[in-house]
Structure 1
Amino acid sequence: MILPEHRWREARLRWARAEEYGFDHAWTYDQLMWRWLRDKPWFGTVPTLAAAATATTAIGLGTMVATPTYRHPVPFAKEVMSLDDISDGRFVCGLGVGAGAVDDLVVDRTERTPRERADRFAEFVEVTDLLLRRRVTSYAGAHYRVDEVWMNPGCVRAPRTPFAIAATGPRGMRLAARYAQTWITAGRPATFDARPYEQVLPDIAAQVRAAERACEEVGRDPASLRRLLLTGAAVGGVLDSVESWRDASGRFAEVGITDLVVHWPRLDFPYAGDERVLEDIAGDLTTTVGGLR
């Protein structure tokens, strides 16, 4: 996870280095502002990922996560198709319902209940999926209406760019099981006081089992859904050292996590850490991750 907080001449080095280190994918937050960094530099997600796609050749690139907060399915689908093309099929479209917090208040003062936000998100996913799969799409729902939207030339990968959907509740997990190639969790929702990873293992294991049940409920093989854990907010200690990385990687793999995301260490809060740990992990990746990506 690389925060979009540096001018590109510096940020470019981080994205290129993530690929050199051997990581399978790299992500950035799709936010207008970050809760603790509202008065700090913060650049746009789509231009950042487009630039990252030209600075790399193999690593996967993704949004963590795009929401209906300030995205509309039609222009967003065009951006997804474009990122997929620029990256030659390496883009992963990370999606989430949104927290109903800072960005919501800036863009739209409408107060929505969790259920209303979930309803809108379900429709957002459905419309985005249709737009990316079809050449021409029309749709009429409670939240979105689109009329004869043309999507040419379409995505590089068929039938469309893969989705990664963040979800912690049953409804969101069923949505991930139905539409996504990857399910995302960051641990307990709306938690920013990171606990040691050993303490959150039972929570993550329970979420994995719930995601597997969601797959069964929609008639999908649970083994076909990747399970991504974003550490750093609710899950702490993973990047304390290479030893903690090895231990955490093994433990999370045992409970069913397939993909582990860590934040690029910053000098101060949030996500403070030592970049040298990443360098050490890079030399250790092929022998320590136990199946994690």
Structure 2
Amino acid sequence: MKISVLLWPTRSWPETGALWRHAEELGFHSAWLYDHIAWRGNTPWYDAYATLAAAAAVTSRIGLGTMVTSPNFRHPVPTAHAAKTIDHVSGGRLSLGIGAGGANRTSDGGILGGPDWTPRERADRFAEWVGLLDRLLTEPEVTYEGTYYSAREVRGGGCVQSPRVPFVIAGNGPRGMRLAARHGAGWVSTGERAAAGDPWSAVRARVETLSAVCEEEGRDPATLRRILLTGFTGEPWLESPQSFADLSARYGELGFDEIVVHWPRERTAFDGDLDLDGDMKVFESIAPAG
């Protein structure tokens, strides 16, 4: 089981740079970064891609990535341009977590103005966005006129990684899973709260659906990384080293091969029901080099 960490783009750069170096020293497989304009009104909240470029320059081994980028405020053309730049700066350590985004300001929905997107439009935009980004990072030149996005004579390709920067697709429904099967190197999900019933059965069913979708798409399910983002279920991930080991083993049995834990920080009024009460000593002890 790979162990990765999710960092927060809320501190000034000198302090943030030290955190990225510390994450690498602790041996985490990857360090992911939320990609929003703002977090429930919380400020400061620094840009994910600019932060990743800076982090790439001060680290040498740890993987880097967004968790997750969405169409809510990013267009595929500048996103592709930024991604391949960071791929070069990092020497091929970047992965792009990509999701449909939410409808509220927590996920930047509506922050740029304009009408709200319906669930159907959000899903349609997500599919078109991922498909165009795939082309922009693999084809030498792209011209495209779609329903929601367009590109005109854009020089594409140019990534360090081949055929392009890996995509990790977030999606718990069949359409998101189909995008993961078609375009993804991995799939990212969260657990289920016990209040929703048996959380293990729910996650197991989700993984089984993913495997079925992969087979329908002609994709070997075993070739798709399965990443679990913790912090949304009330489970005691960082209560003790044993609780982390127990939960990791159980999710491993469900087919996940990478666990992402949040870097512990003090809860704020903007965090809602996100679980952020992990102990720093436990966090450092469960790190691969801890």
Same fold (TM over 0.5): yes
Q: 1:65 matched to which residue of 2?
A: 68
- How far apart in 1 are the matches of 2:221 and 2:241? 31
- How far apart in 2 are the matches of 1:284 and 1:161? 27
Instruction: Give the TM-score taking structure 2 as reference length.
Output: 0.91
Q: 1:48 matched to which residue of 2?
A: 51
Q: 1:174 matched to which residue of 2?
A: 178
User: Of the candidates 97, 111, 117, which is equivalent to residue 94 of structure 1?
Assistant: 97
Deviation at 1:25, TM superposition (A): 0.6
Q: C-alpha offsets along residues 13-33 of structure 1, whole Å, 9 cap, x if unaligned?
A: 221111111111110100011
Deviation at 1:9, TM superposition (A): 1.3
Change beyond 3 A, Cα 1:58–1:170: same
Q: 1:105 matched to which residue of 2?
A: 110
Judge conservation of contact 1:184–1:230 (CA < 8 Å) in 2: yes
SS in 2 for 1:104: coil
Q: 2:264 matched to which residue of 1?
A: 265
Q: Please give the residue correspondences for 1:271-290 in structure 2 after superposition, counting only pairs within 5 Å.
A: 271-282=276-287
SS in 1 for 2:262: coil
- How far apart in 2 are the matches of 1:41 and 1:220? 42
Q: 1:221 matched to which residue of 2?
A: 220
SS in 1 for 2:19: helix
Deviation at 1:284, TM superposition (A): 6.9
Q: C-alpha offsets along residues 151-187 of structure 1, whole Å, 9 cap, x if unaligned?
A: 36x0001110000000000111011110000101023
Deviation at 1:283, TM superposition (A): 5.7
SS in 2 for 1:107: coil
Which sections of structure 1, spanning at least 5 residues, go unmatched?
Answer: 189-193, 286-293
SS in 2 for 1:64: strand
Q: 2:159 matched to which residue of 1?
A: 155
- How far apart in 1 are the matches of 2:8 and 2:200? 26
Judge conservation of contact 1:227–1:257 (CA < 8 Å) in 2: yes
SS in 2 for 1:105: coil
- Bigger RCO of structures 1 and 2 (CA < 8 A, at least 6 apart): 2
**2:17 is aligned with 1:18:** no
- How far apart in 2 are the matches of 1:26 and 1:199? 30
SS in 1 for 2:249: helix
- How far apart in 2 are the matches of 1:130 and 1:283? 36
- How far apart in 1 are the matches of 2:221 and 2:169? 15
- Aligned sequence identity (%): 45
Q: 2:3 matched to which residue of 1?
A: none
**2:1 is aligned with 1:2:** no
- How far apart in 2 are the matches of 1:40 and 1:186? 25
- How far apart in 1 are the matches of 2:128 and 2:154? 16
- How far apart in 2 are the matches of 1:164 and 1:58? 19
Judge conservation of contact 1:227–1:258 (CA < 8 Å) in 2: yes
- How far apart in 2 are the matches of 1:39 and 1:99? 17
Q: 1:82 matched to which residue of 2?
A: 85
Which sections of structure 2, spanning at least 5 residues, go unmatched?
Answer: 1-5
User: Of the candidates 184, 191, 194, which is equivalent to residue 187 of structure 1?
Assistant: 191
Q: 1:289 matched to which residue of 2?
A: none
**2:199 is aligned with 1:200:** yes
- How far apart in 2 are the matches of 1:214 and 1:187? 19
The count of corresponding residues between Structure 1 and Structure 2 is: 276
Q: C-alpha offsets along residues 42-95 of structure 1, whole Å, 9 cap, x if unaligned?
A: 111111111111121111100011111110111110001111111110000110
Instruction: Give the TM-score taking structure 1 as reference length.
Output: 0.90
Deviation at 1:195, TM superposition (A): 5.1
Where do 4+ consecutive residues of structure 1 move more than 3 Å?
none
- How far apart in 1 are the matches of 2:212 and 2:251? 19
- How far apart in 2 are the matches of 1:157 and 1:248? 33
Q: Which residue identity is paired with 2:278?
A: G
